[in-house]
Amino acid sequence: MRATEWPASPRPPVRLLLQWGVSALREAGIETARLDAEVLLADVLGCSRAQLFARFHDSVGRREAAAYRGLVVRRARGEPVAYILGRREFYGRAFYVDRRVLIPRPETELLVERALTLLEGRPRPLVADIGTGSGAIAVTLAAERPDLRVIATDVSAGALEVARLNAERHGVADRVDLRLGHLLEPLDEPVDLIGANLPYVGTEEAKRLPRDVVQYEPHEALFAGPEGLALIRELFASLQPAHLKPGGAVLLEVGYGHGREVVNLACQQWPQANVRLHKDLAGIERVVEINFLSPATGEV
Ligand code: SAM
Ligand code: GLN
User: How far separated are the first and last CA of the chain, in Å rounded?
Assistant: 68
Place 3 in a pLDDT band, splitting at 50, 70 and 90: low
Q: What is the pLDDT of residues 84-93, one digit of tens each?
A: 999 999 999 9
**For residue range 22-70, what is the model confidence (pLDDT) as tens digits?**
999 999 999 999 999 999 999 999 999 999 999 999 999 999 999 999 9
- What rounded mean pLDDT belongs to the chain? 95
The bound ligand whose nearest atom lies closest to the alpha carbon of 213 is: 2
Q: Does the pLDDT at position 207 exceed 60?
A: yes
Q: Which pLDDT score, from 0 to 100, does residue 248 have?
A: 96
What does the chain come to in residues?
300
With a Cβ cut-off of 6 Å, ligand 1 is lined by 101-102, 104, 108, 130-134, 136-137, 153-156, 159, 182-183, 197-199, 220-221, 231
201 Cβ inside 6 Å of ligand 2: yes
CATH 1.10.3470 fits 14-77, yes or no: no
How confident is residue 2, by pLDDT bands cut at 50, 70 and 90? low
Check whether 139 has a pLDDT greater than 70. yes
Q: What are the backbone angles phi and psi of residue 39, rounded to the nearest 5°?
A: -60, -40
Which of 171, 181, 104, 109 has the alpha carbon at shortest distance from 135?
104
Residue 50 pLDDT: 94
CATH architecture of 99-297: 3-Layer(aba) Sandwich (3.40)
Amino acid identity for residue 193 in this structure: L
Mean pLDDT of 168-183: 98
Q: Identify the residue whose C-alpha is closest to ligand 2 atom 5.
A: 222
Count CB neighbours of 57 within 10 A. Answer: 9
Q: Are 84 and 71 in contact (CB under 8 A)?
A: yes
Domain boundaries, the chain: 14-77, 99-297
Answer with the residue of higher pLDDT: 297 or 182: 182
- Whether 148 and 125 have beta carbons less than 8 Å apart is answered as yes
The average pLDDT across 100-107 equals: 97
Model pLDDT, residue 297: 43
Using most ligand atoms within 8 A of CB, pick from 185, 197, 213, 223 the residue to mutate for ligand 1.
197
CA of 221 to the centre of ligand 2 (A): 8
Give pLDDT, residue 293: 77
Q: Kindly give the interhelix angle for 109-119 and 136-144, rounded to the nearest 10 degrees.
A: 40
- How far is it, in rounded angstroms, from Cα 157 to Cα 220? 12
Q: Is the pLDDT of residue 299 over 90?
A: no
Read off φ and ψ for residue 206, nearest 5 degrees.
-55, -35
| CA nearest neighbour of 152 among 186, 129, 170 | 129
Written as one letter, the residue type at 67 is: A
pLDDT in tens, 225-245: 999 999 999 999 999 999 999
**Residue 148 alpha carbon to ligand 2 centre in Å:** 26
pTM of the predicted protein model: 0.94
* Cβ proximity of 190 and 125 under 8 Å: no
